[in-house]
Amino acid sequence: MVLKLLKGSILLFLLVDFGAATAQTADDSVLIRRLADTILTDGKAYGNLSVLTKKVGARLSGSAGYYKAEKWGVAALTDASGSAGKVYLQECMVPHWVRGGKDEAFFEWSDGRRPAKGVRKSLDILALGNSVGTGPAGVTAQVVLIHDFDELERRKDEIKGKIVFYNYKFNPLFIETFKAYGDAVRYRALGPSRAARYGAVAVLVRTMGEGVDNNPHTGALMYNDSFPKIPAAAVGLRDADALAAALEGGRNASVFLRTMAHMLPDTVAHNVIGEIRGSEFPDQYITVGGHLDSWDPAEGAQDDGAGCVQSIEVLRALQAIGYQPRHTIRVVLFANEENGGRGGRKYASAAKEAGEKHLLGLESDAGGFTPRAFSLGLSDTQLAVVHPWLTLLQPYGVYEFVKGGGGSDVSPMKPELGAVVGELLPDSQRYFDLHHSRADVLENVNKRELELGAVNMAALIYLVDKYGFGQ
Amino acid sequence: MVLKLLKGSILLFLLVDFGAATAQTADDSVLIRRLADTILTDGKAYGNLSVLTKKVGARLSGSAGYYKAEKWGVAALTDASGSAGKVYLQECMVPHWVRGGKDEAFFEWSDGRRPAKGVRKSLDILALGNSVGTGPAGVTAQVVLIHDFDELERRKDEIKGKIVFYNYKFNPLFIETFKAYGDAVRYRALGPSRAARYGAVAVLVRTMGEGVDNNPHTGALMYNDSFPKIPAAAVGLRDADALAAALEGGRNASVFLRTMAHMLPDTVAHNVIGEIRGSEFPDQYITVGGHLDSWDPAEGAQDDGAGCVQSIEVLRALQAIGYQPRHTIRVVLFANEENGGRGGRKYASAAKEAGEKHLLGLESDAGGFTPRAFSLGLSDTQLAVVHPWLTLLQPYGVYEFVKGGGGSDVSPMKPELGAVVGELLPDSQRYFDLHHSRADVLENVNKRELELGAVNMAALIYLVDKYGFGQ
């Protein structure tokens, strides 16, 4: 069994180099197995997600759904943390954007002729989050097909009075789809204001994804206040292909776009927090969480119902096996990740004001898919300390620690609190088929994949609680 | 970057121990990247699978669908192998089992009362492959709830004239679901004859899986010729739960079962084979394949359309980048894996008769999910040789070689030909939600996951072609 021998040898090699690296014992393996057993047999993650998706549903900041979700979160955390737990709300102000009606768009040739045979006339679209609307009359204008920002700059004199259609494609050559998203998402986030700068009246942007369906994916834009705020919408992939095909070669076509989106005044919402007090260091915190808000086209099952129920499950599983944490373990269901990030910033600033010491902020916001890795914002020395933990996690799917950071909700904990931040990195292949679209429903979550994410999160939280990072 | 340093150190460690272990060069990384690029951008795997599932569909041995699939296979392999390729059929005799009609079952209390409120009366079932039917009159008999074979033995005197219902559950504590399948599947395969031995008139078996739906999963049984052949069917999970709940506590209920299944005489089918001749060792073969047949309730998308189109894609990608293989690369779409294994045995025995030398038989029959590992039937020395290849595969998902064997189609190549056999081990969490059920459709295959499997298969085939196993 050379393979096993090799693993042993690698471990030995680490021991020689890093001394205290392998503090864990056979007991850890047994305890983690018990966490896995309760999560895989008596787990509440999937059941909780069923309620959140089917009874609460969409829950954008400021919507009735969000306040319903807060109540759900309080109940679920109270149930998970038991009599030893404490559950409370942390108020924060959040933006309140509404879609305001049905988004509509179609295109036709500028000379009034019908589109060529086989080209669909109507476009499946979703107004981008935080965007302004067109008003009930809509806007009609000639479309300019733009492939990337370089082309926008070259053709800036052609933009005035037009609708810019960014057709930048998700790059399939990135194996991790989050890299393709990071590459493409600037067209959604920044594209509207960059087009407005040159006089565009509206923007269409190709959906961030490379799925086989035509579902448009919404998501937040970021207006630059120096330029006019113009309406903007995402177009489904097949319709984006059809529109691009109709426009290739410089042919003229016009698009009619109507969205009733608008921003209302900021309103009050809450982070929902549940905690179990630490037995040795009650004033030192380990935070684990996901975000409670979701986009409006569906149920926010993967984004980020999954992260919420996994985080709650960590608390439940630790309680269920009777583990007494040394540090206070806190689950946070963050408000307003999607179109403001206010909940994450509030949590970190409030903790700073209270003078709290935080060891770790761990987030799950990449979907409840089979876990593969954790990203951790660790120094080289700390990474060496935790590397041997992988032998404890690998049986449950995580085989790698990636040097990096946390997701957007825990990230503020690093500058504000000096905490280590990190996130679960599950398999990324399906996430952007669902993300921010009407396909983000419970039926596209696999129960076991969701549970295995929770198993690895619980195991990591346990290991950090027991051993720290060797600071 | 300790993590990277560690990887480097591990590599060094292997070099010290195993000498020739890291024959690969930066060129390998470039070539594998080119394979990945063509598969992820110009790939035919998903398009081929679309045709196989939606235009051919179900294709059980002996069915019209199977012969349609043979034609599809010839066309797809001809397209993939180009002018340098050779495509042909290899005849083999296969069993010809037919479902013969709609399977039906319901249960009711033996005293004629209606089932309790909330308990469904009808049962969603599928006759097991290769089973005999009840005839049009069906059978009605009292049901005995049996949890495992030990209980069957203890209660053998109660079985005569009854229908045995095996309610053995998939064990969720196995992290790899194939282990849970291996544990549970004996009730489907062997349970009918074991019950017949004690006089049972029919068998119901809990579906092999732990999904959240009620789809029954069929699959082959294996009659023991020493006992009467009795009808047998799989019951959907929710209906199995309901039936078990109705029977717990020893209450009496009877089941009506009607299946029209029967076995026809063996018939002729074919393995479909495509190959590119090796430039240096044309008489030495590397085989890669999946099975062309599928169960009848759906389209055989994951089982095993995925393995077929991935194998074809290996050939296409090698051709597309202009790689000249040293050995002859052969893609085999095996006949009759599901209910006989005749295609795999035929291929190995024909190769033995022809005196062929085979380096590797690689199979993909665990679904087109994100790849995680390869199982390889290698000696310790050979495993040490290939271990460094993982640094070339890891960017595409495979991070481990597991010492093991191949799937059922390539397994005969080991005893018959002395070949190394192996299989792709993708993420296993979703496979048994779909396997042999009406949910095994194209819509439950993710394009990128499918493609990434093909990337890793192509990379491994390339590495074996270039370096061998250090025999």
Q: Does A36 touch chain B (CB under 8 A)?
A: yes
Which residue in A40, A383, A396 is closest to B3 by CB distance?
Answer: A383
Q: Report the alpha-carbon distance of residue A168 to residue A205 in Å, rounded.
A: 8
Burial of B342 (0-12, 13-18, 19+ CB in 10 A): buried
Find out whether the peptide bond into A427 is cis, omega within 30 degrees of 0: no
The per-residue pLDDT for A13 is 35
Q: Which of A74, A75, A70, A72 is nearest to A343 (CA)?
A: A70
Considering the domain architecture, whether residues A64 and A205 belong to the same structural domain is answered as: no
Query: Looking at chain A, which residue has its C-alpha nearest residue B375?
Result: A3
The per-residue pLDDT for B15 is 34
Considering the domain architecture, whether residues B329 and B195 belong to the same structural domain is answered as: no
Q: Does A26 touch chain B (CB under 8 A)?
A: no
Q: Does A16 touch chain B (CB under 8 A)?
A: no
Q: Report the alpha-carbon distance of residue B452 to residue B371 in Å, rounded.
A: 7
Is B430's CB within 8 Å of A449's CB?
A: yes
CB atoms closer than 10 angstroms to residue A119: 17
Considering the domain architecture, whether residues A176 and A69 belong to the same structural domain is answered as: no
Considering the domain architecture, whether residues A361 and A437 belong to the same structural domain is answered as: yes
Q: Does B36 touch chain A (CB under 8 A)?
A: yes
In this predicted model, what pLDDT tens digit does every residue of B147-167 receive, in sequence order?
999 999 999 999 999 999 999
A326 CA to chain B: closest CA distance, Å? Answer: 28
Query: Which of A438-452, B22-36, B48-62, B168-182 has the least mean pLDDT?
Result: B22-36
- Our count of domains for chain A comes to 2
Is A2's CB within 8 Å of B383's CB?
A: yes
Considering the domain architecture, whether residues A32 and A150 belong to the same structural domain is answered as: no
Is B46's CB within 8 Å of A9's CB?
A: no
Query: Looking at chain B, which residue has its C-alpha nearest residue A448?
Result: B429
Q: Does B402 touch chain A (CB under 8 A)?
A: yes
Residue B335 has, within 13 A of its CA and on its CB side, a CA count of 30
Mean pLDDT across B300-327: 98
In this predicted model, what pLDDT tens digit does every residue of A408-441 receive, in sequence order?
999 999 999 999 999 999 999 999 999 999 999 9
The per-residue pLDDT for A302 is 98
Checking if the pLDDT of B99 tops 70, the result is: yes
CB pairs A-B closer than 8 Å? 101
In the three-class reduction of DSSP (H, G, I as helix; E, B as strand; rest coil), residue A267 is classed as strand
Chosen from A4, A6, A17, A398 to mutate, greatest number of chain B CBs within 10 A = A6
Mean pLDDT across B456-463: 98
In the predicted model, what is the mean pLDDT of chain B?
Answer: 92
Query: Looking at chain B, which residue has its C-alpha nearest residue A10?
Result: B10
Query: Looking at chain B, which residue has its C-alpha nearest residue A172?
Result: B40
- What residues contact A444, with CB distance under 8 A and at least 6 apart? A301, A302, A430, A434
Is A401's CB within 8 Å of B3's CB?
A: yes
Residue A74 belongs to a domain:
yes
Is B212's CB within 8 Å of A46's CB?
A: yes
A40 CA to chain B: closest CA distance, Å? Answer: 6
Q: Does A13 touch chain B (CB under 8 A)?
A: yes
* End position of a domain, from candidates A209, A244, A260: A260
Kindly report the CATH number assigned to the domain that includes residue B365: 3.40.630.10
Residue B242 has, within 13 A of its CA and on its CB side, a CA count of 20
The per-residue pLDDT for B252 is 83
Query: Looking at chain A, which residue has its C-alpha nearest residue B433?
Result: A446
Q: Report the alpha-carbon distance of residue B364 to residue B445 in Å, rounded.
A: 14
Considering the domain architecture, whether residues A82 and A220 belong to the same structural domain is answered as: no
Query: Looking at chain A, which residue has its C-alpha nearest residue B369?
Result: A429
The per-residue pLDDT for B313 is 98
Is there a contact between A258 and A104 (Cβ–Cβ < 8 Å)?
yes
pLDDT band, very low/low/confident/very high, at B471 (cuts 50, 70, 90): low
Q: Which of B408, B273, B288, B287 is nearest to B340 (CA)?
A: B408
Q: Report the alpha-carbon distance of residue B24 to residue B20 in Å, rounded.
A: 10
Residue A3 belongs to a domain:
no
Is B177's CB within 8 Å of A448's CB?
A: yes
Checking if the pLDDT of B136 tops 90, the result is: yes
Chosen from A448, A449, A451 to mutate, greatest number of chain B CBs within 10 A = A448
Q: Residue A105 corresponds to which amino acid?
A: A
Q: Does A404 touch chain B (CB under 8 A)?
A: no
- What residues contact B265, with CB distance under 8 A and at least 6 apart? B96
* End position of a domain, from candidates B260, B292, B323: B260
Is B3's CB within 8 Å of A172's CB?
A: no
Predicted model pTM: 0.93
Q: What is the percent of chain B where pLDDT is above 90?
A: 88
Residue B63 belongs to a domain:
yes
Q: Does A430 touch chain B (CB under 8 A)?
A: yes
User: Rounded to an integer, what is the distance from CA A387 to the centroid of its chain?
Assistant: 26
What letter would DSSP give residue B388?
Answer: G
Q: Does B175 touch chain A (CB under 8 A)?
A: yes
Instruction: Tell me the chain A residues in contact with residue B448 when contact means C-beta distances shorter than 8 Å.
Output: 172, 177, 210, 429
**pLDDT tens digits, chain A, 471 residues: what are they?**
222 333 333 333 333 333 333 456 789 999 999 999 999 999 999 999 999 999 999 999 999 999 999 999 999 999 999 888 999 999 999 999 999 999 999 988 765 555 555 555 899 999 999 999 999 999 999 999 999 999 999 999 999 999 999 999 999 999 999 999 999 999 999 999 999 999 999 999 999 999 999 999 999 999 999 999 999 999 999 999 999 998 987 778 899 999 999 999 999 999 999 999 999 999 999 999 999 999 999 999 999 999 999 999 999 999 999 999 999 999 999 999 999 999 999 999 999 999 999 999 999 999 999 999 999 999 999 999 999 999 999 999 999 999 999 999 999 999 999 999 999 999 999 999 999 999 999 999 999 999 999 999 999 999 999 999 975
Burial of A120 (0-12, 13-18, 19+ CB in 10 A): middle
Which residue in B37, B172, B401 is closest to A3 by CB distance?
Answer: B401
User: Could you tell me the CA-to-CA distances from A450 to A5, A315, A397 in Å, in that order?
Assistant: 32, 15, 12
The per-residue pLDDT for B249 is 73
Residue B435 belongs to a domain:
yes
The per-residue pLDDT for B121 is 82
B281 CA to chain A: closest CA distance, Å? Answer: 30
Q: Tokens 């960059």 map to which residue?
A: A194
Residue A63 belongs to a domain:
yes
What letter would DSSP give residue A366?
Answer: S
Considering the domain architecture, whether residues B122 and B69 belong to the same structural domain is answered as: no
Which residue in B3, B37, B449 is closest to A403 by CB distance?
Answer: B3
Which residue in A10, A370, A396 is closest to B427 by CB distance?
Answer: A370
Which residue in B1, B211, B433 is closest to A380 by CB distance?
Answer: B1
Helices A2-18, B2-18: crossing angle, 10 deg rounding:
130
Query: Looking at chain B, which residue has its C-alpha nearest residue A41?
Result: B172
Query: Looking at chain B, which residue has its C-alpha nearest residue A2?
Result: B380
Is there a contact between A58 and A436 (Cβ–Cβ < 8 Å)?
no
Q: Does B399 touch chain A (CB under 8 A)?
A: yes
Q: Does B383 touch chain A (CB under 8 A)?
A: yes
The per-residue pLDDT for B25 is 76
User: B418 — phi, psi (to 5°)?
Assistant: 70, 20
The per-residue pLDDT for A110 is 63
The per-residue pLDDT for A24 is 62
Kindly report the CATH number assigned to the domain that includes residue A192: 3.50.30.30
In this predicted model, what pLDDT tens digit does every residue of B380-421 receive, in sequence order?
999 999 999 999 999 999 999 999 999 999 999 999 999 999
pLDDT band, very low/low/confident/very high, at B261 (cuts 50, 70, 90): very high
Q: Report the alpha-carbon distance of residue A313 to residue B338 in Å, rounded.
A: 39
Is A427's CB within 8 Å of B427's CB?
A: yes
* End position of a domain, from candidates A209, A232, A260: A260
- What residues contact A153, with CB distance under 8 A and at least 6 apart? none
Provide ipTM, 2 decimals.
Answer: 0.92
In this predicted model, what pLDDT tens digit does every residue of B70-85 receive, in sequence order?
999 999 999 999 888 9
Q: Pick left, alpha or beta for residue A148 (phi over 0 → left; psi -120 to 50 → alpha; otherwise beta).
A: beta
Considering the domain architecture, whether residues A338 and A432 belong to the same structural domain is answered as: yes
Q: Report the alpha-carbon distance of residue B313 to residue B448 in Å, rounded.
A: 13
Considering the domain architecture, whether residues B237 and B333 belong to the same structural domain is answered as: no
Residue B413: domain span: 12-95+266-467
Q: Report the alpha-carbon distance of residue A155 to residue A153 in Å, rounded.
A: 5
Considering the domain architecture, whether residues A367 and A242 belong to the same structural domain is answered as: no
Which residue in B13, B402, B447 is closest to A9 by CB distance?
Answer: B13
The per-residue pLDDT for B1 is 24
Bridge-based pairing state of the strands A400-403 and A371-376: parallel
Burial of A102 (0-12, 13-18, 19+ CB in 10 A): exposed
The per-residue pLDDT for A10 is 37
Is B430's CB within 8 Å of A452's CB?
A: no
Is B395's CB within 8 Å of A2's CB?
A: no
B36 CA to chain A: closest CA distance, Å? Answer: 8
Is B448's CB within 8 Å of A210's CB?
A: yes
Considering the domain architecture, whether residues A246 and A271 belong to the same structural domain is answered as: no
Q: Does B13 touch chain A (CB under 8 A)?
A: yes
Instruction: Tell me the chain B residues in contact with residue A1 when contact means C-beta distances shorter than 8 Å.
Output: 380, 403
Query: Looking at chain A, which residue has its C-alpha nearest residue B452?
Result: A175
Considering the domain architecture, whether residues B64 and B152 belong to the same structural domain is answered as: no
Residue-wise DSSP of B319-379: HHTT---SEEEEEEEES-TTTT-HHHHHHHHHHHHTT-EEEEEEE--S-SSPEEEEEE---
In the three-class reduction of DSSP (H, G, I as helix; E, B as strand; rest coil), residue A413 is classed as helix
Residue B4 belongs to a domain:
no
Q: Does A14 touch chain B (CB under 8 A)?
A: yes
Chosen from B448, B456, B469 to mutate, greatest number of chain A CBs within 10 A = B448
Residue B7 belongs to a domain:
no
Q: Report the alpha-carbon distance of residue B153 to residue B156 in Å, rounded.
A: 5
Residue A5 belongs to a domain:
no
Query: Looking at chain A, which residue has its C-alpha nearest residue B43?
Result: A172
